[in-house]
Amino acid sequence: MNDSKQKSSSFIQLILSTKISKFVLTLGLLGSILTTLVGLTIPLLTRELVDGFSIADLNWWFIAVIVGVFIIHAIVDGLSAYALAYVGQNVVAKLREIVWKKLIRLPVSYFQKQPSGESVSRVINDTGIVKDLVSQHFPQFISGLISIIGAVIILLFMDWKMTLIMFIAVPITLVVMIPLGSRMAKVSRRLQDQTANFQGEIQQTVSEIRLMKSSTAEDMEKTRGLTGISKLLKTGLTEAKIFAVIGPFMYMVVMLVIVIIIGYGGIRVEQGTMTTGSLVAFLLYLFQIVFPITTFAMFFTELQKAKGATERIVEILEEEEEGLTGQEKQIGNLPIEFQNVSFSYDSGEKVLNKISFKASPGEMIAFAGPSGGGKTTVFGLIERYYEPDEGEVLLGGESVENISLESWRSQLGYVSQESSMMSGTIRDNLTYGLPEADKISEDKLWAVAEMAYATTFIEELPDKMETEVGERGTKLSGGQRQRINIARAFLRDPKILLLDEATASLDSQSEQVVQKALQRLMEGRTTFVIAHRLSTIVDADQIIFIENGQITGKGSHQSLIESHELYRSFAKQQLK
């Protein structure tokens, strides 16, 4: 019970957080109520028309009133429907805005735990469920409730005996519908979760299509996809079974009540205790009661689905964001120091254990060592994707946590072996993330492209700077993508440069060009380098050798060859 109350509270708070337009919502609801009230007059008018109908006494004014009521009903209903749809669309837009703003401010560690497809599903699917409830099912519920109450009151005044006969159907309906509604809520929740998981799997497979193809994993992915589809089918069929019970059952109950009412009403008409018009009006009111009841089951099902969707949205909103506060500071001419830094991921096993080193301004610091030793984690701490469990990262003797993330990261340049790119043009990728990117001149873009030795291949492309690079830059070669990344780094003019095995995945020809571009980029900047090829770091001011999360050697290339056995072994293998 407490869990249900908490979900309801979370749902209401989330809807209110969208600053829903109360004026438009009120207009929509009032229109819906007015439509219902106008609808309640139609059976009474029909009764008068039936009881007083004759060609000789045909009252055209009365017919005009009935037609007018229908027209007013249609106009108000249309305006009300639009007003409520307007509110629903604005609610879902605001919800998506809230969730999206939250997602892009969450730390990297969140996305390492959460499949990207599920996050996409929360932004699109779950918010859509809330929209359907607000704009469709809730207004239907309110107007249906008014319709039922109004119709029952009128029927009691018209003929309380027949009204009581009609109520026989209520307990029968409740006995069946309540357990079915509860079951439907569970099935709908399961269907949402399975849809999110399946979307995540599809997105992962499509985003890594080259890996899948090169690994000849089509059969495996086909099996995994078919398993997900089979689960969705099974749950969908379970949902369909419940609907298959609800629909015919409600139809049976309705028809049973109608037959009883017509039979009993026919006897009353024959006895002269009831007019034909009253019987017709009674049947019309019966329909105004029955149809809303059938929508109630759907409303409560959608309400449960919306609560479930809200719960997952709230889980995202309750995640801790990266800190946005801190001072603006120039970091170029200050030393960076790791002071007894330890770090572990969620497993608890230390990835780094009491790491200490210092980089003076303009120095090149290289990290070497076996794979999995913790080198990339050091970069993650410099980028401030994570915070140390113990120790501190200092800039000029002051903790980097005192500097705002925006100020800190805007002064870092990062070039990785993945050659990360966004879909769009070469220009879009060069200026990605920069303020007033559209105002950066063509001359400046070509200048940084020349520094990165990228002008030759860009000029050969059909649209030059406006050439579309494809999703993740798939229309460019690895060397071309890497030179675009280096040109982007030149454009950002970073004070500190991070090179994460930037030439590891390139052929020898591309590596030579990229290495020349990197040497030019490193000039005058504090540079941190991760490299498996020792030939790229022999001239580093300091080489730090990391094994199993600990520094086991530190110094120049020559001093490590003399003092560090494993480094000497690496050098003998690579530097022949």
Q: Which of 400, 368, 403, 556 is nearest to 376 (CA)?
A: 368
| CB contact set of 5 (below 8 Å; sequence gap of 6+) | none
| CB contact set of 352 (below 8 Å; sequence gap of 6+) | 341, 342, 343, 344, 374, 377, 378, 381, 388, 549, 550
| Strand ranges (E), 240-372 | 336-344, 350-359, 364-368
| 337 φ, ψ (degrees, to nearest 5) | -135, 130
C-alpha span between 358 and 528 (Å, rounded): 11
The 10 Å Cβ neighbour count of residue 448 is: 22
Q: Which of 419, 414, 509 is nearest to 473 (CA)?
A: 419
| CB contact set of 70 (below 8 Å; sequence gap of 6+) | 42
Torsion over CA of 379, 323, 434 and 412, rounded to 10 degrees? Answer: -30
Tokens of 408: 């800190």
Three-class HEC string of 36-84: HHHHHHHHHHHHHHHHCCCCCCCCHHHHHHHHHHHHHHHHHHHHHHHHH
Name the DSSP letter for residue 525: S
Alpha-carbon distances, residue 473 vs 299, 418, 447, 465, 554 (angstroms): 46, 11, 21, 14, 38
C-alpha span between 572 and 576 (Å, rounded): 6
C-alpha span between 24 and 56 (Å, rounded): 48
- With beta carbons less than 8 A apart as the criterion, state whether 306 and 11 touch: yes
What sign does the dihedral 195-199-200-201 (CA atoms) show? positive
Residue position matching structure tokens 């879902």: 92
User: Helix 2-17 vs helix 60-103: angle between axes, to the nearest 10 degrees?
Assistant: 100
Provide the annotated active-site residues: 501
C-alpha span between 151 and 285 (Å, rounded): 6
What are 341's strand-pairing partners? Answer: 355
C-alpha span between 358 and 342 (Å, rounded): 16
The 10 Å Cβ neighbour count of residue 322 is: 17
